[in-house]
């Protein structure tokens, strides 16, 4: 269990280094007139929500990979591998559905032009 705590701390540090989450998360303050000083200046709250979601998903996968490095946490040592495979298939199916819906959204003209 200690290796999971170490991996979780490492993921938080990684998130901080790469600038994901934190102030860019949903509801982040944008300063006066809602502008930012970065290339994502035109991002909306929806962009921030998607960025936070993708960052959390990436961190979760990274945490799992790090935890799996400890023999006691490796998938091969689970008591119910088929249950975990079924759960993972369910999640992958949901993510595939989400990706398909996102791909159906028509591209928009750049805002502010």
Contact status, residue 45 vs residue 27, Cβ threshold 8 Å:
yes
CB atoms within 10 A of CB 11: 19
Q: Which two tokens stand for residue 7?
A: 């991996």
Q: Per-residue pLDDT averaged across 19-31, rounded?
A: 43
Q: Which pLDDT tens digit goes with each residue over 28-84?
A: 434 434 445 565 678 899 999 999 999 999 999 999 999 999 999 999 999 999 999
Measured distance CA(55)–CA(94) in Å, rounded? 17
Instruction: Report H helices in 1-113.
Output: 2-18, 45-68, 81-104
Model confidence at 88: pLDDT above 50: yes
């Amino acid at each position: 269990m200690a290796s999971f705590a170490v991996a979780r701390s490492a993921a938080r540090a990684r998130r901080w280094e790469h600038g994901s989450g934190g102030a860019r998360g949903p509801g982040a303050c944008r300063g006066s007139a809602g502008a930012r000083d970065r290339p994502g200046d035109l991002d909306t709250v929806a962009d921030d929500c998607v960025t936070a979601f993708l960052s959390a998903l990436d961190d979760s996968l990274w945490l799992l990979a790090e935890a799996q490095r400890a023999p006691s946490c490796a998938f091969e040592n689970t008591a119910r591998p088929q249950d975990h495979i079924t759960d993972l298939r369910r999640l992958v199916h949901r993510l595939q559905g989400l990706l398909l819906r996102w791909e159906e959204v028509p591209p928009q003209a750049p805002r502010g032009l």
